[in-house]
Structure 1
Amino acid sequence: VSGFESSANFVEEQEKGVFPKTLRNMWAIVSVINPLMAVFALALFTIPVLQSDEYQNTLLIEMGEQVGGQGLAIVVALDAFLVLSGAVLTSFVGVTGLIERMTLDRIMPPFFLKRNKRGSSYRIIIMFFLLSASVLLITEGNVKLLAGVYTISFLSVMALFGIGNILLKIRRNKLPRPERASWFAVLIAISAVIVALIGNILMPPKDGLPSNLSVFLYYFIPSILFIIMMLNRTVLLKLLLKIIDAIFNPVQRYFKRLDRRILRNINKINSQEFVFFTKGDDIATLNKVMLYIKKNEHTRKLKIVIVKNDQVKVPEKLKEEIEFLDKEYPEIKIEFVVEEGNFSPELINSFSEKWDIPINFMFIGSPGDKFPYKIEELGGVRLII
């Protein structure tokens, strides 16, 4: 664990002049410890032993046991556990900061900015944990394959550091910065990283396991595609709108016409006017008429008609009661009509022609014993009470 790959996560939080010292210290430590470990391993074991699966998975522990016995092996194992635990914690911290920064830059969806009560971006942490666990499942816990995937990721980040340095030299050459690397140093570093990257990619996979590159691409390609989609989401959404319009516009026009036709039919049905002939019924009876019409008939218009003569007078409160019902049933327009004459089939026919309302849309209440006509003689007038 060198720390080079995560240095970009803490460079902005360091005091001026500290970061170059950090890089120098990491470089010095890696330059000394890594070669010495390789030399010690070659001094202690033969190459065939070093290439065996057991020694590749726990090489430092085997070296400690060979030199200092079981006690030193346990110390090395505990130290490795603590160091790798710190690396895991650092990775979670680094990924959280990276995804938050990308989200604030609108490269990732705002879904990841949700925090819990303690201020942790738990969605990022859960996502990273699931991705890490999935890598472990895909590689079946094979340390060599895991190391190969990590190496590709690590070397890719190192190469991007060098490429970023070149872009700064070309496009932001006058940008003030505390440290500058020469072209020669940058090109040598990138070349060395690329050689190591190619060597790691060309390593043959173990029997029954995928190659380092294939596992890396399982995650790299979807991630890049997702980021490209996010960066071009407005273009993609506009394209989606055009596709939807091209597919559904003809159908939409058809359904709009169908919708208008249906609405016209509904309005036509509801525009049919009904007639109720009253003898001066009280408001309770008229309310029953309204309830029946509202429940059973499709209409927005109703004429309440009273035919007055010497025997039938218009009650004084009838008009007020009808106006009250008109307010209580706003969905039905009630018109109060007073006609003179004698209620008869001929009068009903004349009203039907005058108002253009079929007789079967006219109602009366139940007639009394003295009613001079039979119901069937009225030409189809209906009883509702």
Structure 2
Amino acid sequence: MSSSKSASSLPPPPMDESDIESYPMHSLESTWIAIEPPPSARGTAEPEGTSFSDPHPPSFESAQYDIVLRRQRQRPRTGGGMKCTAVPSRFLNLPNTFEFSGWGTLSRLDLERDEISRGEEDVQRTRRAASLGQFTASAIAGNAVLGSVFYALPAVALVSGVYSPIALLAASCVMFLWRPIMEELASALPISGAPYTYLLNVSSKTLALIGAALLLLDFSATAVVSAATAMSYLDGEVVLPFSTVVGSILIILLFSLFFLSGVRDSAKMAFAIMMLHVVTMITLFVASAVAWQRRGNAQIRDNWEEGTKGLTAAVVARQIFNGVCIGVLGLTGFECVPSYVASIKPGKFPQVLRNLHYPAIILNSVAMLLILAHVPLGTVVGQGNILSTLAQTVAGKWLRIWVVVDAVIVLCGGVLTGILSACELFERLAQDRFLPQLFTRRMPATGAPFFSVVAFVAFSYVLYASSGANLGIMSKMFSLVWLTVMTLFPLSVLLLKFHRGRLSRSPRTPLALVLLTLAVAVTVIGGNIAIDPTTVGYAAAYFLALAGIFQLTMKKVRVLHGLLWAYDQYAVLSRHAWTRACGEKMAAAVRHLRRQPVCVLVKTDEINVLFHKLLYVSQNEETSCLKLVHFCDDEAGAPSEMEANWKILDEAFPEITVDLILVRAPFTPAHVAALAHRLRIPTTLMFVSCPGPAFAYSVAELGTRIICL
């Protein structure tokens, strides 16, 4: 007790001239007031209406509040300088610049008129990008959705037999669970690249990249399976001068060239293809109905007797369940619609889902019923081109040729769907610095992303070749990947409700419906695995390889750090010219990658809120340069504790240089875009808190990422 008293009675060591010069005097007074201890710490209560101005040196008890400024007094006035900590560097022979960063600076800026004009142009460009109406937007994914009838019906007939119409009807109605979920997500986050962008805004980058890997596999498998199925239909009718493998490769290449003509022209072409398919199916249905009325029910009665002979109730239930599990593949293409939602006019997304869903219900179930009414069950089960067989039976060769031509064309439209969706995903990944900026470049004449198309075609060829050009293997992988992608939507909305509940959106899906959809998705995935366990092996192999590559792109600085650490352990490596040059290149790459800045837009000066935002950047972004930005009017100014808390946080993260920027402008999408031009930071790397219901702008207009509630 006596030692404590003697310690408290000693005055603090005086500051010499060098200490005073090293500390910015203009902020000394305001900083001292910001950390002024409460009256209880001073030992006496202040009279009301007076201010504390004790001329005597502070006691030990009050001086403890000054500890946070101990090293900040030595910061250079103009910023810069290396942060020094007691933590030793893991590198023995490399400078501390690999572990620690410099001190941040405070700046106040006014946006220039030309910068604001460019920001307004960016906002208007974002609004004009939403140019697809409900029918053209439906056509892009519609060719994949409605074209899936050509490969879904034979697969369902193989496991369900005469119960196929029931299984297909039930499978098509499953989408009623997903539609409100997808509508809520699109309303809350109308951003292209979903569900990757959904997961990025409601969870971590690791989970988002898992979603990106699944999406890319799904889009590529959509293109490959559609092209290969189209060639198999064509090969069953005519003698081709080349193999179906070569034909599939040519189809992907041809429709890639079509896509390079421009997104709007591609949408128009997709709409024309879908209209051809609709007319073909209507013609087939009418011809089948007329033939059924003329021939009677003899064939469907024979098929029913043959298909139900000796079956127990358990076997029937199993057949229907298996048919439902496989029949959901007749809905492939729905997952592509959110990937280009930013190109759809506001309010049209629910109509697009409706336009795709109801025709899919009618097409899948009615087509299967008509097949059983005209084609023997043995032919149905063993036939791949069962729709062309139906056409031959009810109307003759002319309708068969028409159906085959329609199958080839509409399945090729599915290739176009995969290309468009993948290019949107590539662009988002490039904007988030997972991929090189080449993926954001567009052709001057058409605005098509040339490098993204080339990369997607190359990846699809690699995927097809690695499967041995086997359509069966690709179809198995496609089925499980598609089901897993569809599971991401209820998972995303569940995370949205928990982490971003304040975000304005309509409709709001009941939690019970979300959980039910998740349960149905898991059940259907389990059913497909039970039907063919090899499905897991094919899908897992491709997914793990692609997810591993994406994880490396996210942690490229850490990988380089590991290589540098290994290099640093052997001093002999620095003695040779070529090994020293290799180490210098790795070090330069680390410096370049870590100097790429990100921006955090803040409204409040609450230190706990600021800390969690900086912690997100530290854990998810490989950067040593962070801009903490607050938009303020001249009258209001910055929050009172913003500068003091910024200084504390700048010291709390020694590996990141935290700059505080006070922008004299209101917080609007145009000003955010203008700031992006000033700082040369894309808006996708500007992070914000979750906006509330009263926020006047859409998340899509801001273009920023939501990182906290």
Distance in 1 of aligned mates of 2:372 and 2:467: 28
Q: Is the 8 A contact 2:391 2:399 kept in 1?
A: yes
Q: Secondary structure at the match of 1:16?
A: coil
Which one of 535, 538, 554 corresponds to residue 212 of structure 1?
Answer: 535
**Max radius of gyration: which structure?**
1
**Alignment partner of 2:347 out of 13, 17, 28:** 17
Is the aligned partner of 1:38 residue 2:368?
yes
Instruction: Give, as a single letter, the amino acid of the residue that structure 1 aligns with 2:426.
Output: I
Question: What do the CA deviations read for 1:131-190 (whole angstroms, capped 9, x no partner)?
Answer: 323333344554444332222222121111111111111111121012222222222222
TM alignment of 1:36-185, pairs within 5 A: 36-52=366-382, 55-56=383-384, 58-116=385-443, 118=445, 119-185=447-513
| CA 108–30 in structure 1, closer or farther in 2 if over 3 Å, else same | same
Are the aligned partners of 1:64 and 1:72 in contact in 2 as well (CA < 8 Å)? yes
Change (3 A) 1:39 1:239: same
Output the TM-score relative to the length of structure 2. Answer: 0.33
Aligned to 1:243: 566
**One-letter amino acid of the structure 2 residue matched with residue 131 of structure 1:** F
How far apart are the structure 2 equivalents of 1:189 and 1:63? 35
SS of the aligned residue for 2:396 comes to: helix
The superposition leaves residues 12-64 of structure 1 with CA deviations (integer Å, 9 ceiling, x where unpaired) of: 22222211121122222222222223333333445543332xx23x2222222
| Partner residue, 1:229 | 552
Query: Which residue is equivalent to 2:526?
Result: 198
Task: Report SS of the residue matched to 1:5.
Answer: helix
- Contact kept? 1:102, 1:108, Cα under 8 Å: yes
Distance in 2 of aligned mates of 1:23 and 1:126: 30
For the structure 1 residues 244 and 46, does the alpha-carbon distance in structure 2 shift closer, same or farther, using more than 3 Å as the test? Answer: farther
Q: Give the conservation status (yes or no) of the 8 Å contact 1:148–1:200.
A: no
After the TM superposition, which parts of structure 1 deviate over 6 Å for at least 4 consecutive aligned residues? none
Aligned partner of 2:571: which letter?
Answer: N
SS of 2:415's partner is helix
The correspondence of residues 267-282 of structure 1 with structure 2, limited to 5 A, is none
Larger RCO: 1 or 2 (CA < 8 Å, sep 6+): 2
The Cα shift of 1:115 comes to 4.5
SS of residue paired to 1:195 = helix
Q: Distance in 1 between matches of 2:552 and 2:467?
A: 28
Separation in 1 of the partners of 2:374 and 2:470? 24
Residues in 1 aligned to 2:522 and 2:465: alpha-carbon distance in whole angstroms: 28
Report what 2:336 is aligned to. 6
Q: Deviations over 1:327-357 (max 9, x none)?
A: xxxxxxxxxxxxxxxxxxxxxxxxxxxxxxx
Per-residue CA distance 1:47-104 (angstroms, 9 max, x = gap): 543332xx23x22222222222211111111222221122111211111111011111
CA contact (8 A) 2:476 2:538 kept: no
Range with bigger deviation, 122-131 or 92-101: 122-131
TM alignment of 1:295-334, pairs within 5 A: none
Match of 2:54 in 1: none
Identity of aligned residues (%): 26
Structure 1 residues 194 and 47 mapped into 2: Cα distance closer, same or farther (>3 Å)? farther
Unaligned runs of 5+ in 2: 1-143, 146-332, 581-709
Instruction: Give, as a single letter, the amino acid of the residue that structure 1 aligns with 2:359.
Output: I
Q: Tell me, in whole angstroms, the C-alpha distance in 1 between the residues paired with 2:502 and 2:544.
A: 35
| In structure 1, C-alpha distance between the alignment counterparts of 2:429 and 2:409, rounded to whole Å | 30
Question: Quick one: which amino acid aligns to residue 424 of structure 2?
Answer: G
Instruction: Name the structure 1 match of 2:658.
Output: none
Report the residue type matching 2:345 in the other structure: E
Q: Deviation at 1:255? A: 6.2
Q: How many residues align?
A: 247
Shift of 1:233: 1.8
The 8 Å contact of residues 464 and 474 in structure 2, kept in 1 or not, is answered as yes
Offset at residue 130 of structure 1 (A): 2.4
CA contact (8 A) 2:335 2:485 kept: yes
Deviation at residue 223 of structure 1 after TM alignment:
1.3
Structure 1: stretches of 5+ with no match in the other structure: 206-210, 260-385
Task: Report the aligned-residue RMSD.
Answer: 2.7
Shift in Å at residue 217 of structure 1?
2.9
The 2-side partners of 1:105 and 1:128 are apart by 18
Distance 1:192 1:144 in 2: 25
Q: In the TM superposition, what is the alpha-carbon distance from 1:125 to its structure 2 partner?
A: 1.5
1:241 shift after superposition: 1.4
What is the alpha-carbon distance in structure 2 between the residues aligned to residue 177 and residue 229 of structure 1? 34
Shift in CA distance, 181/41, structure 1 to aligned 2, threshold 3 Å: farther
Secondary structure of the residue aligned to 2:557 is helix
What is the match of residue 87 of structure 2?
A: none
Q: Secondary structure at the match of 1:108?
A: coil
In 2, the alpha carbon distance for the partners of 1:147 and 1:40 equals: 25
Q: Contact between 1:96 and 1:124, CA under 8 Å: does it hold in 2?
A: yes
Deviation at 1:117, TM superposition (A): 5.1
> Match for 1:241: what amino acid?
L
**1:200 aligned counterpart, secondary structure:** helix
